[in-house]
């Protein structure tokens, strides 16, 4: 009998070692993800950034097309003509002579170089160049948003895992208390309602644990989505060692946000591009002048080389000017439209500036509140632990009731929750403030 128990014990120890070894191997294989590693991975895989990169390339192609419009163009055409009657020239007294073939082939090649377009082409080129800058700023703003989102999801996952640990500790403590209460009840040391209170407290703690575990799963899915990973993939993430200091003043952050935040720079570039759109619209008031060089051939054969009536080939150089004299006020309406768009953009910029100031103010205040709460929560946590220890001893000596135990555990759970909320709330507020101020921090 003793030998069988020994064998069972040995098998259990062996299986336990196998499980631990497997977990360690998986941990080594997967590695521990740091916040900077999570940010770097998201910047390489996030779909929003890929979308903005595609828009940036799209703007580059627009710029290339605008630049091509300023260069010369080469075009060609080939044709075949079959007339009902051969062209003739009447010479008098009823006589005539042919002057062209009745059927003929012709082709020509043109080189067209714009000389003057009322500054329209140059304005369009600058407009497309600004479009590239705007898309680059929009991409930078998306990068800031993704960095903020990843950090927020990272710290929220740390927070909820800590809260899950707190809930598990509460379950362990209240289960031990319920066991003690049952023993005391059997011995007739406590009334039945004290036993019931301990059991209800344990049930509530178990429900809170299950609820917190669900929140952990949701937080894990949110982080995985940002990293473009399977939603339920388990991630080992590194906890923070200490809370970093943030020494920038509120005034400096406001100034930096209004000057350097990508969304503000994009809006100012947009305002400048509208000004160029006005120049582009006014270019319709001026003539468009182009230089045209042409080489042409015409003849009765398919290669247009045989012509009995004129030169089979010829070349010319001409300057052509084109001006629209009347268009029912269309150009004037285009110029007025651009002016209205400029006024609208200027108003939008003022509105966004106020929104940026408010974002910085809110994030700065959240950071200060979280910073002040950390030390207070740390002291309260220590006091709650001591209160729990004393109350537990008092209950064992029958000078405290189940109500006292449940209250002490509730105070301890709340103190732990407040402490972790302060720590990780500070980190989340810091990520929000960096994003609001236009600070690109990958760590």
CATH number for position 135: 1.20.1600.10
pLDDT of residue 23: 44
- Give residue 22's pLDDT: 43
Tell me what pLDDT residue 171 has. 83
CA angle at 139 for the pair 134 and 144, rounded to the nearest 5°: 125
Does position 187 have pLDDT exceeding 90, yes or no?
Answer: no
Q: Domain check: are 243 and 136 in the same one?
A: yes
User: Are 306 and 234 found together in one domain?
Assistant: no
For residue 14, is it within any domain?
no
Residue 26 predicted with pLDDT over 60: no
Number of structural domains found in the chain: 2
Higher per-residue confidence, 295 vs 84: 295
CA–CA dist 364, 251 (Å, integer): 11
- Looking at the domain assignment, is residue 17 inside a domain? no
Among 322, 347, 366, the domain boundary falls at 322
Q: Which residue range forms the structural domain that includes residue 207?
A: 32-71+118-286+329-437
Per-residue model confidence (pLDDT) at position 17: 46
The answer, yes or no, to whether residue 143 has pLDDT greater than 90, is: yes
Residue length of the chain: 443
How many other β-carbons are positioned within 10 Å of the β-carbon of residue 254?
Answer: 18
In the listed set 296, 322, 348, which residue is the last one of a domain according to the structure? 322
**Is the same domain home to 417 and 303?**
no
Say yes or no to pLDDT of 5 above 50: no
Same domain? 349 vs 264? yes
Q: In this model, does residue 29 exceed pLDDT 80?
A: no
pLDDT in tens, 421-443: 999 999 999 999 999 998 888 88
The answer to whether 429 and 153 are in contact (CB under 8 A) is no
Are 164 and 55 within one domain? yes
Tell whether the model's pLDDT for residue 7 goes beyond 70.
no
Residue 317 lies in a domain: yes
Per-residue pLDDT band for 310 (boundaries 50, 70, 90) equals: confident
Average predicted confidence (pLDDT) for the chain: 85
Average pLDDT for 11-18: 47
Residue 109 has pLDDT above 50, yes or no: yes
Query: Does residue 407 sit in the same domain as residue 274?
Result: yes
Residue 6 lies in a domain: no
Name which residue leads in pLDDT, 362 or 241: 362
Same domain flag for 344 and 301? no
Mean pLDDT for 410-419 is 87
Residue 10 falls inside a structural domain: no
Q: Are residues 296 and 182 in the same domain?
A: no
User: Which of the residue ranges 19-28, 349-358, 388-397 would you say has the lowest mean pLDDT?
Assistant: 19-28
- Rounded CA gap, 389 and 328, in Å? 90
* pLDDT at residue 74 in the model: 95
Assigned domain for 389 exists: yes
Task: Provide the pLDDT for residue 6.
Answer: 42
Greater confidence (246 vs 258) lies with 258
Per the domain annotation, does 107 fall within a domain?
Answer: yes
Under the banding of pLDDT at 50, 70 and 90, the label for residue 249 is confident
> Could you tell me if 111 and 132 lie in one domain?
no
325 neighbors 284 (Cβ within 8 angstroms): no
Pair (337, 294) in one structural domain? no
Query: Nearest CA to 312 among 297, 291, 295?
Result: 297
pLDDT of the residue at 433: 92
Whether 22 is in a domain gets the answer: no
- Same-domain pairing of 335 and 406: yes
Instruction: Supply the pTM of this predicted model.
Output: 0.79
User: Parallel, antiparallel, or unpaired for β 95-98 and 103-116?
Assistant: unpaired
Tens of pLDDT, residue by residue over 111-120, are: 999 998 888 8
What pLDDT is recorded for position 30? Answer: 54
221 shares a domain with 169: yes
The pair of three-digit structure tokens given for residue 66, joined into one six-digit string: 């605008």
């Amino acid at each position: 009998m003793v030998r069988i128990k020994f064998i069972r014990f040995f098998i259990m120890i062996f299986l336990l070692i196998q499980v631990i070894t497997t977990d360690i191997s998986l941990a080594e294989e997967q590695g521990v993800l740091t916040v900077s590693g999570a940010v770097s991975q998201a910047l390489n895989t996030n779909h929003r950034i890929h979308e903005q990169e595609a828009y940036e390339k799209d703007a580059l192609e627009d710029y290339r097309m605008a630049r091509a419009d300023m260069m010369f163009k080469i075009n060609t055409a080939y044709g075949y003509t079959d007339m009902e009657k051969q062209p003739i020239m009447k010479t008098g007294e009823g006589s005539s002579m042919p002057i062209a073939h009745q059927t003929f082939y012709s082709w020509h090649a043109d080189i067209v170089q714009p000389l003057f377009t009322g500054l329209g082409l140059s304005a369009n080129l600058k407009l497309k160049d600004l479009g590239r800058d705007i898309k680059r700023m929009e991409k930078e703003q998306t990068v800031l948003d993704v960095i903020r989102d990843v950090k927020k999801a990272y710290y929220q996952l740390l927070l909820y895992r800590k809260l899950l640990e707190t809930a598990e500790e509460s379950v362990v403590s209240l289960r031990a208390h319920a066991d003690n209460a049952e023993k005391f009840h059997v011995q007739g040391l406590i009334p039945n309602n004290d036993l019931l209170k301990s059991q209800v407290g344990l049930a509530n703690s178990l429900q809170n644990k299950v609820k917190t575990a669900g929140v952990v799963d949701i937080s894990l899915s949110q982080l995985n989505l940002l990293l473009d990973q399977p939603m339920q993939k388990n991630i080992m993430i590194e906890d923070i060692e200490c809370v970093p200091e943030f020494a920038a003043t509120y005034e400096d952050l406001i100034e930096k946000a209004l000057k350097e935040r990508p969304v503000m720079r994009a809006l100012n570039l947009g305002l400048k591009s509208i000004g160029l759109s006005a120049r582009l619209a006014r270019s319709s008031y001026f003539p468009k002048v182009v230089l045209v060089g042409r080489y042409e051939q015409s003849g009765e054969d398919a290669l247009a080389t045989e012509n009995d009536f004129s030169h089979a080939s010829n070349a010319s150089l001409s300057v052509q000017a084109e001006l629209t004299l009347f268009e029912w006020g269309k150009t004037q309406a285009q110029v007025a439209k651009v002016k209205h768009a400029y006024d609208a953009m200027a108003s939008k910029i003022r509105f966004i500036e106020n929104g940026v100031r408010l974002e910085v103010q809110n994030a700065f205040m959240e950071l200060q509140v979280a910073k002040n709460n950390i030390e207070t929560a740390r002291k309260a946590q220590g006091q709650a632990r001591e209160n729990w220890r004393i109350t537990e001893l008092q209950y064992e000596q029958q000078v405290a009731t189940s109500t006292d135990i449940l209250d002490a555990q509730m105070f301890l759970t709340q103190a732990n929750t407040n402490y972790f909320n302060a720590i990780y709330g500070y980190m989340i507020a810091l990520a929000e403030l960096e994003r609001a101020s236009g600070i690109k921090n990958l760590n």
